[in-house]
Structure 1
Amino acid sequence: MKKLYIASLGCVKNLIDSEVMLGKLKNEYEITLNPNEADLIIVNTCGFINLAKEESIDTILELANEKKENAKLVVTGCLSERYKDILPKEIPEVDIWSGVGDFNRIDEIIKSNSKKVFSNKVFLIHNEDRVITGSSYHAYIKLSEGCNQKCSFCAIPSFKGKLQSREIEEIINEIKRLKDKGYKDFSLASQDSSSYLRDKGIRDGLERLIDEIDKIDDINVRILYLYPATTTKRLIRKIFSSKNVVNYFDIPIQHITPKMLKIMKRPGSVNKLKELLNEMKREDSFVRTSIIVGHPGESHEDFEELMKFLEEYNFDRINVFAYSDEEGTNAYKRKDKLPDAIIEARVKEVEKVVEKTTQKALKKYLNKEIECFFDGLTEDGLFYSVRPKLWEREIDGDILINDSEIQNLKVGNIYKVKVNELAGNQLIGKIIG
């Protein structure tokens, strides 16, 4: 068989699309981790913010330089879609350019030898076969594509289009198919999960989906990317009462002052946002958020208010993004942009708060017994790695195991872990059952 090297950059939604491409090519190519020996190289790019764009460009150029003679370099995804009129001229080393509409046609595109293939639609997975990567028991499930929100800083709707949701039955069937293959831990992903099915006039789509998920036995499910304006207390209560969906709340707030939320075009009041967050915060829940620091119009007082709120609420995890000036967005047109030096200084300040809140969140686990998925040996071979059922794969960390009362441990199995120590930001424990 010929060999394929794929670089999937950006979010897990991109990863799902990459897995669709692998599914289309699996009969003709085997995956290699060495780009030098690949007959086909695919880069699924991210075009969200400047750092992601730079990573994508660097990856394309590096792989163009590394590919062997007669190998094909295919670039697809968000960055190539966003800059489809520019990049093919700027990087002639790429053999085929494609966007976000044809992941399920990647085999046809490669055989066509067309230099550029850009559709007028955005691809949404339906019943395509995927090759799941990175785990033998965990898989991501895409709920929808596109977004109806109009956040001032975000360019995604300009190249991903409006919200389009998958049918509930289709999602349930995919989970069941993957369960039959041994997958038991799932993360549901989209640009705006709490708006799921609103494009079809259904306001409680996510609640209906949870009801159907609860009819499946022996699975563990997390929901990613709740949008504050479309998240309700009823949805939160539905998650808490679910048999299979764990109490995991990933809700990017971006900011906390009325002025900044208005500038950012984030609908809903601060009071409602705080009420939702308080509804989520329980002893047995996990709340993650994301914030943007240095958005145009952010005063020192706005920033201080944000810092104060982050300290008081004590999120379990916080993603901090420095404002990225993206053409085509409302924020890009504003005249009250902050100097880079101020943005960088504020990011450093807020990161100190994040360090404290993360430490506090981790200390909650000390001397507790918790159920965890077993992930095998760490890369250095010195510890075993486990992940609490509540935590999201890769982004929330792990617990290192230096002792076990159980023999013949198996990846993907759930074990009871006693957490004994916190070293820096790393929990250490023992498998006890």
Structure 2
Amino acid sequence: MGKKLYIETLGCAMNVRDSEHIIAELKTKESYDLTEDINEADLILINTCSVREKPVHKLFSEIGHFNKIKKKDAKIGVCGCTASHLGEEIIKRAPYVSFVLGARNVSKITEVLHKEKAVEIDIDYDESTYAFSDFRSSPYKAYINISIGCDKQCTFCIVPSTRGEEISIPSELIINEARRAAQSGAKEIFLLGQNVNNYGRRFSSGDEKINFTELLRRVSQIEGIERIRFTSPHPLHMDDEFLEEFASNPKICKSMHMPLQSGSTEILRRMKRGYTKEWFLNRAFKLREMVPDVHISTDIIVGFPGENDKDFEDTLDVVKKVKFEQIFSFKYSPRPLTPAKDYEDQVPQEIASERLSLLQEMHKEMLDDIAKKQKGKVFNVYFEELKPGGYVAGRSDNNFIIKVKGSEELLGEFRDVKITKPGRLSLEGEVIA
């Protein structure tokens, strides 16, 4: 019987990719096989997120639960951003944890596995040229990191303190990884970075220096790749060259994540986002003009310190004007190691909650209107997931989640689908070609 690995991943797509790297290293170098049954696992890992407070609280309840139900000799490891942030404190609070592995130290997984109470959390460690073994959760698409770390100093964000300074991964490594994914059947590539369109700012080696727009061109030339997605671009770096490549390259999916955070120029200044309300609207309007069917998603924080009614109205104004197809919205959560947690003008929770409800209700009305307009339209859908009730789901080029009645023969295939039943979160249709 081989050794079994159980892994739980919290947080963003970059954490998903980090987990895939961990799985690949353990499979190829330590002969672990994945299991979904925690009771049979020899190694239990939780890959953590620290962007908001809730996932951090969840960590200690989860590992406490794991300790109660695990096999007698099974090890528990904590990885990811909270590992980087809390380090040895995790083992002090939960002595049954065998090791702690930071988000910038993923390649060391096979080392810490054999060092009891190891804590590897060096945020200056450079993994940008490390060639990980291959593993993908889905055979139909591939996540590929194009950079590590973040150079931005947003006053609300803990990420620079958990993932270190931004370093771009050499383009040759990225292209080779994308080519291998395509050869094994993945038709969609998802490029990942904290600020993907800042790619090329810094390399740790003497590799060829190119920018993100040129990287997109090169990935799109790989045989077998039919769709390219990426996250997250930064509004500050959305120059005309980038937008023109996005609009004109047929392999780039027409969905863009534009993290607004706030519609108030004053709050954006306090957040150190580097752009104004006017700049954001200019880029969004240009995008809508160049790509009329583009799907724009965003992140919004309400109740940031100092936010007054006028600032919140500015946020609502941007939402009304851009008409985002998707919004990830949250109340401001004070995070350790960030300047904003020490600002004196914190917004009372009841006011932040009220503003969040107003924003979300307004957006629900927009979503209903957007959904109604999709009825009768035809989308080319790439199917990648089976759903309960005999459905198969996939995404359109512009990121609508679309499901149809069908079975596994649709998986990994492109089909034209006519929408018959629009919904706020997904669309239902029938295959017509």
The bucket for the TM-score relative to the shorter chain is over 0.9
Residue identity opposite 2:238 in structure 1: T
Give the corresponding residue for 2:260: 253
CA distance in 2: counterparts of 1:321 and 1:204, whole angstroms: 35
**Of residues 229, 237, 241 in structure 1, which corresponds to 2:236?**
229
Residue identity opposite 1:429 in structure 2: G
Instruction: Say if 1:169 and 1:364 are closer, same or farther in 2 by CA, change over 3 A.
Output: farther
CA distance in 2: counterparts of 1:75 and 1:376, whole angstroms: 29
Percent identical: 27
CA distance in 1: counterparts of 2:48 and 2:129, whole angstroms: 18
CA distance in 1: counterparts of 2:323 and 2:88, whole angstroms: 45
CA contact (8 A) 2:368 2:423 kept: no
Residue identity opposite 1:332 in structure 2: K
Residue identity opposite 1:277 in structure 2: A
**1:238 and 2:245 are equivalent in the alignment:** yes
CA distance in 2: counterparts of 1:97 and 1:236, whole angstroms: 41
Q: What RMSD over aligned residues (CA atoms) do the two structures have, in Å?
A: 2.0
Give the corresponding residue for 1:429: 429
Give the corresponding residue for 1:381: 389
CA contact (8 A) 2:254 2:397 kept: no
CA contact (8 A) 1:100 1:123 kept: no
Give the corresponding residue for 2:169: 166
**Of residues 127, 134, 149 in structure 2, which corresponds to 1:130?**
134
Residue identity opposite 1:371 in structure 2: N
Give the corresponding residue for 2:193: 190
CA distance in 2: counterparts of 1:369 and 1:205, whole angstroms: 35
CA contact (8 A) 1:38 1:67 kept: yes
CA distance in 2: counterparts of 1:39 and 1:200, whole angstroms: 38
Q: Normalization by structure 1: what TM-score?
A: 0.92
Instruction: Say if 1:315 and 1:330 are closer, same or farther in 2 by CA, change over 3 A.
Output: same
Structure 2, unmatched stretches of 5+, are: none
Give the corresponding residue for 1:14: 15
Query: 1:239 Cα shift?
Result: 0.9
Query: 1:376 Cα shift?
Result: 4.7
CA distance in 1: counterparts of 2:251 and 2:320, whole angstroms: 31
Query: 1:241 Cα shift?
Result: 1.2
Instruction: Say if 1:408 and 1:345 are closer, same or farther in 2 by CA, change over 3 A.
Output: closer
CA distance in 1: counterparts of 2:157 and 2:242, whole angstroms: 25
Query: 1:360 Cα shift?
Result: 2.7
Question: Which range is displaced more, 111-120 or 301-310?
Answer: 111-120
Q: Tell me, what secondary structure is at the counterpart of 1:419?
A: strand
Query: 1:203 Cα shift?
Result: 9.2
Residue identity opposite 1:418 in structure 2: K
Give the corresponding residue for 2:369: 360
Q: Tell me, what secondary structure is at the counterpart of 1:52?
A: helix
Question: Which range is displaced more, 318-327 or 239-248?
Answer: 239-248
Give the corresponding residue for 1:5: 6
CA distance in 2: counterparts of 1:253 and 1:426, whole angstroms: 23
Give the corresponding residue for 1:145: 148
Q: Tell me, what secondary structure is at the counterpart of 1:175?
A: helix
Give the corresponding residue for 1:331: 340
CA contact (8 A) 1:359 1:425 kept: no
Q: Normalization by structure 2: what TM-score?
A: 0.92
Instruction: Say if 1:114 and 1:51 are closer, same or farther in 2 by CA, change over 3 A.
Output: closer
Give the corresponding residue for 2:73: 70
**Of residues 57, 62, 84 in structure 2, which corresponds to 1:59?**
62
Residue identity opposite 2:426 in structure 1: Q
CA distance in 1: counterparts of 2:301 and 2:166, whole angstroms: 23
Q: Tell me, what secondary structure is at the counterpart of 1:283?
A: coil
**Of residues 216, 224, 227 in structure 1, which corresponds to 2:222?**
216
Question: Which range is displaced more, 281-290 or 120-129?
Answer: 120-129
Query: 1:114 Cα shift?
Result: 4.5
Residue identity opposite 1:35 in structure 2: I
Query: 1:352 Cα shift?
Result: 0.6
Structure 1, unmatched stretches of 5+, are: none
Where do 1:314-329 residues align within 5 Å? Answer: 314-329=323-338
CA contact (8 A) 2:51 2:157 kept: yes
Query: 1:83 Cα shift?
Result: 0.8
CA contact (8 A) 1:400 1:426 kept: yes
**Of residues 30, 33, 57 in structure 1, which corresponds to 2:33?**
30
Query: 1:410 Cα shift?
Result: 2.9
